Amino acid sequence: MPVYEHDKDHPESIDARAAQLDPWVMYLVVRRERAASLDGLLVAAAQATYDAAARLADDPRYRDAFGEWASRSFRKVCLRANEKDWPRVAELDGGDGAIDGEPVVRALPPRRKSERERLLVALQAYTAEVAELPARAPPVTGEAPAMVFVLNEAVPMRAGKLVAQIGHAVLLCAHAFGAREADAFAAWAAAGRPCAVRRASGEAWAALQREEACAIVRDAGLTEVAHGSETFLALPPRPPGAWSTRVRALPAL
Q: Residue 241's domain is classified under what CATH number?
A: 3.40.1490.10
Q: What φ, ψ does residue 206 adopt, rounded to 5°?
A: -65, -40
pLDDT score of 60: 98
pLDDT score of 131: 87
Output the furthest CA–CA distance in the chain (Å, rounded): 49
pLDDT score of 8: 62
Q: Which domain holds residue 227?
A: 146-248
Is residue 21 located within the same domain as residue 117?
Answer: yes
Give yes or no for residue 205 having a pLDDT over 90: yes
pLDDT score of 21: 77
Is residue 49 located within the same domain as residue 150?
Answer: no
pLDDT score of 204: 95
Give yes or no for residue 2 having a pLDDT over 90: no
Q: How far is CA 237 from the centre of its chain?
A: 15
**pLDDT classification of 11: cutoffs 50, 70, 90:** low
pLDDT score of 98: 93
Domain annotation covers residue 253: no
Range 107-126 average pLDDT: 97
Which three-class secondary structure state does DSSP give residue 68? helix
Is residue 118 located within the same domain as residue 224?
Answer: no
107 within 8 A of 69, measured Cβ to Cβ = no
Degrees, nearest 5: CA angle 251-149-34: 90
pLDDT tens digits along 206-237 = 999 999 999 999 887 777 787 778 999 999 99
Claim: this prediction has a pTM higher than 0.75: yes
More confident residue, 220 or 133: 133
